[in-house]
Chains A and B, each alone.
Chain A
Amino acid sequence: MLRLLSFVLFLATWWIAALLAGSAKLPAPSIVFATMIAEARSGALFLHLGVTLARVVLAFTLAMSVGSAIGHLMGRSRLANRLGDPWLILLLNLPALVVIVLAYIWAGLTEAAAIAAIAINKLPTAVVTLREGTRALDPALDEMAQVFAFPRWRTFRHVLLPQLAPYIAAAARSGLSLVWKIVLVAELLGRPNGIGFEIGVAFQLFDIPLLLAYSLSFAAVVLVIEAVLVQPFELRVSRWRLRAA
């Protein structure tokens, strides 16, 4: 209820601001929604949204799995940590734009280059978070699993993964917000479709309703995914904590 109220308040503010600023700079919500519906009718909106989402899913999965594996290794092994740490610091501080431009120069304006560039941007935060998680593992539970001769898979599934779950959730949460932002830049610079590409077109034509229509549709999808996927997952992995006395 409160969320709905806050949304209505946002629309009202927008409407008033549009009246004051004039529709050339800030079109009223009705104009933007009309553009949105027109784009949806033609199918363009769903095409671009779908393409962008596919890139997000691919880059996110790639970065999370590779980043988790590297982070776990660096948390476990002092040697791996020593070797990997300078690279990690370099990647953490490298601007996203540099990675994207270099990827397009070296690998051409291809899908693989775009996805790799997005993944590389997200990778170091996953590594850092999972490294911390691995360092915080409880050796007492490891010993328990060893004494009771847990097979590898059971140790992974029931001893290791639940301990890493909060770190994985944190890496996913921060990583996802990073990927949402970077995917549009990668599309703007070197892809012929996707929300980022459409925003680039709208920018060149100064078509503000189109720009807002795509931006807001994208924001809505992000919100829905957060509410439907990320938050329930976080709740699920911490359900044993909630019930704790």
Chain B
Amino acid sequence: MQLDVDITGKSFISAAGKPHRVLSDISFALATGEVGVVVGPSGCGKSTMLRILAGLDPNYQGRVARPAGARLAMVFQEPRLLPWRSVADNVRLAAPDADDARLAALFSVLELSAHRDHYPGELSLGLARRVALARAFAVEPDFLILDEPLASLDDALAARLREEIATLVGSRPMITLLVTHSLDDAVRLGDKLILLSARPARLLHTLPIAIPRTARDEQVIAAIKADLARLNLANPSGSLDPDRQQ
């Protein structure tokens, strides 16, 4: 199974009636088992692109071929839980076929077991994000979209959750697309980095990382980051910040 993206443009009509170009040329492909990481400056249109890939926005120019019959799951920037359903029910509603043992395992990996019966309003943002992750993994997706799942969490928690995402992504074959501001997350999680320019976003580079995730030590990570910094210098329009951790 493969995801083929070939977007040639996307515009919004602003409140003043003027068209705003958000996306320009973006094309890449991802195969099953690959983790693509989209990196780009804040406000460049990454979320707009994800909405197109998720099938939520049909108004764009170009072509997106999602694998036929693929089960989709998404972790939105905000947790988007149903406030009137408990944590367990939120997950169950998205994944009614998941068996109890697997859900219990998932809850325990994400350290949610104690919160099953809580309502989302009773959770901290970090916990709510973990519930959103649990929901996405519970459906056993073929295509998983993660929109800045670690944003606005403290470093220690973000690092732990990143490990958990890596474990879960490695646990079954799927196409994963992750959006992040953090080069650190990108280099630690990705198999293929998709670098976007400032608005209107266009593809600057795709950078495959050959070394498997588990074999990347600090040295390898530093080397890849240095590569990225060089690419970035060659493209002043892309404002990546290699020092940025989160």
| A binding-site residues for B, Cβ under 8 Å | 140-141, 143-144, 146-150, 154, 158-159, 162, 240-241, 243-245
Given the known interface contacts A147-B54, A147-B56, the answer about A159 and B82 at a Cβ–Cβ threshold of 8 Å is yes
Where the two chains meet, the residues of B that have a C-beta atom closer than 8 Å to any C-beta of A are 51, 54-56, 71-74, 76, 78, 80, 82-85, 93-94, 119, 121-122, 135, 139
How distant is A156 from chain B, measured CB to nearest CB, in Å?
12
The reply to whether A241 and B121 contact each other, CB–CB distance below 8 Å, is yes
A240 to B54, CA, bound (A): 30
Give Cα A162–Cα B73 distance, bound, in whole angstroms.
Answer: 23
- Evaluate whether A148 and B76 lie within 8 angstroms (CB atoms) in the complex, with A158-B85, A244-B122 already known: no
Q: Check A147 against B119 for contact (C-beta < 8 Å).
A: no
Given contacts A149-B72, A154-B93, A158-B85, contact A141 B119 (CB under 8 A): no
Least CB distance from B123 to A in Å reads 8
Distance of A141 Cα from B79 Cα, bound (Å): 10
In the assembled complex, the Cα of A71 lies from the Cα of B78 at a distance in Å of: 30
With A150-B93, A240-B83, A240-B121 already in contact, 16 other A-B pairs whose C-beta atoms are closer than 8 Å: A140-B76, A141-B80, A141-B82, A143-B56, A143-B80, A144-B74, A144-B80, A147-B73, A148-B72, A148-B73, A148-B74, A148-B93, A149-B71, A154-B93, A162-B82, A243-B119
Contact of A240 with B72 at beta-carbon distance under 8 Å, contacts A140-B78, A154-B93 already known: no
Complex contacts, B139 vs chain A, CB 8 Å: 148
Q: Which residues of B contact A141 (CB under 8 A)?
A: 80, 82
Contacts of B51 on A, CB cut-off 8 Å? 143
- The docked-state distance in angstroms from the alpha carbon of A241 to that of B122 is 10
- A148: chain B residues at CB < 8 Å are 72-74, 93-94, 135, 139
* Cβ contact within 8 Å between B74 and A147: yes
Q: Is A146 in contact with B56, judged by CB distance below 8 angstroms?
A: yes
In contact, A240 and B119 (Cβ under 8 angstroms): yes
Other-chain contact of B84, A146, A150, A240, A245 (Cβ < 8 Å):
A240
Chain A residues within 8 Å of B93, by CB: 148, 150, 154, 158
Q: Are the C-beta atoms of A144 and B76 separated by less than 8 Å? A: yes
Determine the chain B residues whose CB is within 8 A of the CB of A140 once the complex forms: 76, 78, 80
Whether the pair B121, A244 counts as a contact (CB closer than 8 A) is yes
Jot down 12 A-B pairs with beta carbons below 8 A, ordered by A.
A141-B82, A143-B56, A143-B76, A146-B55, A147-B54, A147-B74, A148-B94, A240-B119, A243-B121, A243-B122, A244-B122, A245-B122
In the docked arrangement, what's the CA distance between A244 and B82, Å?
Answer: 13
Rounded to whole Å, the gap between the CB of B3 and the closest CB of chain A is 15
Q: With A147-B54, A147-B56, A154-B93 as given contacts, are A244 and B119 in contact (CB-CB < 8 Å)?
A: yes
A147 (CB) vs chain B CBs: closest residue:
B74
Task: Tell me which of A143, A159, A241 has the highest count of chain B C-beta atoms within 10 A of its own C-beta.
Answer: A143
Which residue from chain B places its CB closest to the CB of A140 in the assembled complex? B80
Nearest CB of chain A from residue B148's CB, rounded to whole Å: 15
In angstroms, Cα B119 to Cα A162, docked, is 14
Determine which residue in A147, A154, A158, A245 has the highest number of CB atoms from chain B within 10 A of its CB, and name it. Answer: A147
Name the residue of chain B whose CB is nearest to the CB of A154: B93
Closest 10 CB pairs of A and B: A244-B121, A162-B84, A148-B94, A240-B84, A144-B80, A147-B74, A240-B119, A245-B122, A143-B56, A140-B80
